[in-house]
Structure 1
Amino acid sequence: MSLVDALGWVAAAVGIVLGLPQLVHLIRTRHTEGVSLLAWQALLVLNLSWGLHGVLIGQLNMIVTNAFGLATTVPILVLMCRSRGLSLLRVLAPAVVAAVVVIGADLAFGSIAFGAVVLIPGTAVNVAQSVELVRSPSVEGVSPLFLTLAVVNQLLWVSWAFLVPEPGTIIAASVAVFITAFNVLWWGLRRMGLRAFFPEPELTPVA
């Protein structure tokens, strides 16, 4: 196995377990404070889009990591919908439609166009979580291990993409590295006592 292949599979392995800490945290605490619904909707778009992009470019590591990613992303969305009294169908449907649009760009215009278009949900995942970390009265629902693994995951993918090379991944992962690093830093500041800016009303969990 070459260095490129090995790095790709390490990135895939991290991607597979990426959502598990957040899923376990939500199940254990029953708190969703500080967790962005929009971020997890966007992550569903990414799981679907990157998985099918992996099929198109023949990269099994992309297919595997995003197939397993769905096994954590969907349950997290289910838990958040239950906690916040939201319709699961109304939460999932926009993500599926967005994924169809992203894959359409990939099929019509190729990998570079895919990398540019997938930046939208890719940035939304991390920026939405950034906003939630900044504004939420509490960040109790956020798993720090998930935030840390998100940085590691993006660093691995961008390293792999430069070695392949794979322009779509280079574009998307390079931007994501900086935003995920900010999220880790801001979570740490909130836990150290930094107050919320422009705070949202506190969520009341649905029994």
Structure 2
Amino acid sequence: MIDVFGWVAAAIGLSAGIPQLLRIVRASSSLGVSMRLWQITAATTCAWGVHGFLIGAPQMQIPNVIGAAMSFWILIFVLRDRLQAILPQLVLPLLLAAALVGVEVMFGAVVFGLVVVVPQLIGQVAQLRSLLTTSNPAGVSAGFLAIFVFGQSLWFIFGIAFNDWALIICAGGMVAIATVNLIVCLVRQSRARVALAV
């Protein structure tokens, strides 16, 4: 039963990036989207995929490899929209992913969980900053944020059931900060729509 639950969490987690990708493509804009968040998401998704291989959890393997590819794709769209060079901006996620994998291999899952949550929290705080400072967060997908919160909630429960402390630590922190981002996004987008209607 827990295996099925893990696959549901994986499917929801994997689908989280789709609304953001579609939003950027449809709007032809990355307004309010944090480039740093997507660099970090690409890196940490790669690291979580390796974590899945190390602990023998297929629910974390294939979905995270696909999720990493989607994160890199979103990052490339953001970079193109902002007319920034692509290759130099891909170095950070690749180096961060390698460092996170090194931490897990050397120190184990608990330390990995404590370390991997830091860049993910930084990414979410960067997104919060973008949401608060942009005049109109039209490029941000509230659907992405809602699915992300739900998916992280499921991963938190899976971590408890699977006794995976890396997942418990990280997913718990992500649920908290991503919920704040979702609320701020909904409020800012609502205010932007009202301002446009006036």
Kept after mapping to 1: 8 A contact 2:43/2:68: no
What does residue range 47-66 of structure 1 map to in structure 2 within 5 Å? 47-66=45-64
Deviations 1:111-169 (A, max 9, x none): 00100110122212211111111111110001111010010011000000011110000
Gaps of 5+ in 2: 193-198
Kept after mapping to 2: 8 A contact 1:45/1:121: no
Q: Which residue of 1 aligns with 2:128?
A: 130
Identity rate of aligned residues, in percent?
33
2:85 maps to amino acid: S
What TM-score results when the alignment is normalised by the length of structure 1? Answer: 0.90
CA–CA distance in structure 1, aligned partners of residues 18 and 111 of structure 2:
31
1:27 maps to amino acid: V
CA–CA distance in structure 2, aligned partners of residues 111 and 37 of structure 1:
28
Number of aligned residues = 192
2:175 maps to amino acid: V
C-alpha RMSD of the superposition: 1.0
- Structure 1 segments (4+ residues) deviating >2 Å: none
CA–CA distance in structure 2, aligned partners of residues 124 and 52 of structure 1:
21
Indicate yes or no: 2:153 matched with 1:155.
yes
Return the structure number with greater helix share.
2
Query: Residue 77 of structure 1 is aligned with which of 56, 75, 78?
Result: 75
What TM-score results when the alignment is normalised by the length of structure 2? Answer: 0.94
Indicate yes or no: 2:62 matched with 1:68.
no
Report deviation, 1:71.
3.0
CA–CA distance in structure 1, aligned partners of residues 156 and 77 of structure 2:
31
2:3 maps to amino acid: D
Q: Which residue of 2 aligns with 1:25?
A: 23
Gaps of 5+ in 1: 195-207
1:63 maps to amino acid: Q
